[in-house]
Amino acid sequence: MAQEFVDGLFVNRKENAPEFVKASLSFKLEKFIPYLHSKANAAGFVNVDVLESHEGKLYAKLNDWKPKQEEVVEEEVEEEAEEEFDTNQIPF
């Protein structure tokens, strides 16, 4: 899957920022808002990963991962099994 950079989103790390500040995000609204509308999933979310290049520069990449249908079904079965478990049946 090819990397798709998020249009209108810029990620920076300021050298003099305190350790707890991991990144600063800047949004170019005229590019970013249309990009969000075009990439929203069925639930209305756009997932973005902030990554670090080999050179140490931060950047934002679209996360378009979708579970396979069989993975979703398997998770639902596991959740149902957890709900049916009765702790009173444990012999100790």
Is 70 inside a domain boundary? yes
How many residues in total does the chain contain? 92
State the average pLDDT over residues 55-84: 76
Is 1 inside a domain boundary? no
Is 35 inside a domain boundary? yes
Q: Taking all residues of the chain, what is their mean pLDDT, rounded to a whole number?
A: 85
Is 36 inside a domain boundary? yes
Is 92 inside a domain boundary? no
The model's pTM: 0.64
Given a cut of 70, whether residue 91 has pLDDT beyond it is: no
Q: Which domain holds residue 62?
A: 9-85
pLDDT tens per residue, range 43-55 = 999 999 999 999 9
Contacts 24+ apart (CB under 8 A), 27-31: 31/7
CA distances from 23 to 53, 55, 69, 71 (A): 14, 16, 35, 33
Is 46 inside a domain boundary? yes
Provide the pLDDT confidence category of residue 28 given band limits of 50, 70 and 90. Answer: very high
Given a cut of 70, whether residue 32 has pLDDT beyond it is: yes
Is 43 inside a domain boundary? yes
Domain count, the chain: 1
Is 3 inside a domain boundary? no
